[in-house]
Amino acid sequence: MNGMNALLTLADEGPAAETITPGVLGFIAVAGIGLALYFLMKSMRNRLAAIQVEPDDSRPSSAYAKTADKTDSSQPGPNVAPGPTSAS
């Protein structure tokens, strides 16, 4: 039982805070994570570049978007219910 008290005393004190450092193992772990992240990002970029997207006719074309910007914005669009008007 006396040995147990000595271990508990050492556990309470612990090593000095200045002597605890991540060391070489910590550096290797962080460098490994960084290297894995680099290769994962490179692979993702290559996979995204290889995606072929078919044109979708349901999306508005750029010409439609340009004409939609030129319309009178004070009038509600076809999907907007008319709201109450204020008499000023």
∠ Cα 22 23 28 (to 5°): 95
* pLDDT tens digits along 44-76: 999 999 998 887 777 666 655 555 555 555 655
Confidence of residue 36 (pLDDT cuts 50, 70, 90): very high
* pLDDT tens digits along 3-21: 667 666 666 677 777 787 8
∠ Cα 1 3 21 (to 5°): 135
C-alpha closest to that of 68 among 56, 57, 79: 79
